[in-house]
Amino acid sequence: MEFFILNKLKPKIIDLYLLMEIVSPFIGGLVFFLFIFLMFQFIRLTEFFVVHGVSALLLGKLTSLMLLSFLPSVLPIAFLVSILIAFGRLSIDSELVALKASGISVFRMTLPVIIFAFFISAAVLVLNLDLVPKGERLFKSTFTRVSNTKVVSLIQPGAFTSGFFDLLIFAEQFDFKTNHLKNIFLYDDRESKTPVVVIAREGEIIPLKPSTELGSSALLKLFSGNIHRNNLEEQSYQKVDFHEYQLFLEVKEGGGTAEIKTKMIPYQELLQTIQTTPKDAYIHLEYVAEMWRRIALGIAPMIFVFLGIGFGTIKTRAVKTSAALISFFVILVYWLALTGATIIVFDYHVNAMLGMMLPNLVLLVFAVPSYRSSLW
């Protein structure tokens, strides 16, 4: 009896064949969509490298965090495309007819796809509930620190530059190759009670090795100028002429504070926040809706199984083109439904669980009849 049950549970050749048909386009779709999503962030990544002068290692870290945040959206899309392509090819090559003639129904073919969908859903849930929120928080914190770490490349000749090591600087001329400046105006109000103005004919910026990965430090040498110091408490003014004046500038971490949004809160912390906030508060509804939004996205791949098989078995000459168009249409409908669900939950105070599951119910409206049509 035990041997009989194990034999029934043992994967058949047809199961492995169908999985191989799905896995190949799935991997291709995953790489393709991750690349497309990353291209939208290309300007930001270029800014990190060129303007802020981050290391290749740090740039790779930021890119990895970006890719992590894309995965919960890309995994279901790539999975849907892979089903459409796999069953579309089986249909156009008449393999689907041959399989049915051999006594293998579409329902039997669905079983390995459901197993694959289960792993995709589990991955999306793990990412959405814990890994992505932590990654989003780390990325935001790192991005804030990088953005606040202003380096030499920010100085524009003939223009005032604020935020340069918390100083306001003006240089009539600036040589980016040698870091030499001419006709310099520097305003330092870090000590609010004794603001300082420094005027010099020439200057030089010498970059120094920072003490931290996200830090920035430099030695500013100024020549042939004068210092104007105004003491507001004592109501006194002081002027000092100099031949050479050196100013050590450093930003250790550039300020790492970042606003924590609901999407950056891990699952356990989100549950604790839901339990501690008043149920009639707006923020409580926001937290509950966020939790069910993550769960709803994790369930979507299970529905994509029936939607993909239903639409994939429709015979078309251009399988990949039709798969892309159908996927685009499905994703568009899904995200419109998700936007509408968010409005319904917050504006009309509909139950958060029911509201966030609305996009999946919309998918079922398309999935059920299309799947039933393939059961001939």
Question: Do the domain assignments include residue 1?
Answer: no
Instruction: Please state, in angstroms and as integers, the Cα–Cα distance from residue 32 to each residue in 38, 178, 312, following that order.
Output: 10, 42, 20
**pLDDT the model gives residue 94:** 84
203 and 95 share one domain: no
Instruction: Please state, in angstroms and as integers, the Cα–Cα distance from residue 345 to each residue in 125, 130, 277, 285, 355, following that order.
Output: 22, 23, 18, 8, 6
Q: Which residues contact 107 (CB under 8 A, 6 or more apart)?
A: 375
143 and 271 share one domain: yes
70 and 166 share one domain: no
81 and 113 share one domain: yes
Q: What is the total count of domains within the chain?
A: 2
23 and 165 share one domain: no
Instruction: State the DSSP H helix or E strand holding residue 244, giving kind and residue range, or none if neither.
Output: strand 236-251
Please identify, among 251, 286, 308, the residue that sits at the C-terminal boundary of a domain.
Answer: 251
Pairing of the two strands 167-175 and 160-164: antiparallel
211 and 95 share one domain: no
Question: Do the domain assignments include residue 2?
Answer: no
CA nearest neighbour of 168 among 187, 193, 196: 187
Residue 249 has which token pair? 């500038």
365 and 284 share one domain: yes
Instruction: State the DSSP H helix or E strand holding residue 205, giving kind and residue range, or none if neither.
Output: strand 196-208
**pLDDT the model gives residue 122:** 96
247 and 309 share one domain: no
Q: Domain range for residue 34? A: 11-147+260-373
Other Cβ atoms less than 10 A from the Cβ of 81: the count is: 29
Tens of pLDDT along the chain (376 residues)?
444 344 544 557 888 899 999 999 999 999 999 999 888 887 777 766 666 666 778 888 888 999 999 999 999 999 999 999 999 888 888 888 888 888 888 888 999 999 999 999 999 999 999 999 999 888 887 776 665 554 556 677 888 887 677 788 899 998 877 889 999 999 988 787 888 999 999 999 887 766 555 556 778 899 999 999 888 778 888 899 999 999 887 765 544 444 567 888 899 998 998 999 888 888 889 999 999 999 999 999 999 999 999 988 876 656 667 777 888 888 889 989 988 998 898 888 888 999 999 999 999 999 999 898 887 6
Question: Do the domain assignments include residue 162?
Answer: yes
31 and 100 share one domain: yes
Number of Cα atoms under 13 Å in the Cβ half of residue 132: 20
18 and 135 share one domain: yes
105 and 243 share one domain: no
Handedness of CA 372, 373, 375, 376 (dihedral sign): positive
Judging by beta carbons within 10 Å of its beta carbon (0-12, 13-18, 19+), is residue 190 exposed, middle or buried?
Answer: exposed
Question: Do the domain assignments include residue 28?
Answer: yes
CA–CA gap between residue 149 and residue 176 (Å, rounded): 18
Question: Do the domain assignments include residue 5?
Answer: no
Pairing of the two strands 236-251 and 167-175: unpaired
Residue 112 has which token pair? 């390995």
Question: Do the domain assignments include residue 4?
Answer: no
CA–CA gap between residue 196 and residue 186 (Å, rounded): 8
Question: Do the domain assignments include residue 125?
Answer: yes
**pLDDT the model gives residue 153:** 61
Please identify, among 199, 216, 251, the residue that sits at the C-terminal boundary of a domain.
Answer: 251
135 and 171 share one domain: no
**pLDDT the model gives residue 76:** 94
Give alpha helix (H) positions in the chain: 2-9, 13-39, 42-50, 56-92, 95-101, 106-126, 132-148, 267-276, 282-312, 319-348, 352-356, 358-373
**pLDDT the model gives residue 281:** 84
**pLDDT the model gives residue 364:** 92
**pLDDT the model gives residue 376:** 65
Please identify, among 219, 251, 283, the residue that sits at the C-terminal boundary of a domain.
Answer: 251
Give alpha helix (H) positions in 159-281: 267-276
CA–CA gap between residue 196 and residue 225 (Å, rounded): 13
**pLDDT the model gives residue 144:** 64
Residue 252 has which token pair? 């250790």
**pLDDT the model gives residue 51:** 60
Question: Do the domain assignments include residue 51?
Answer: yes
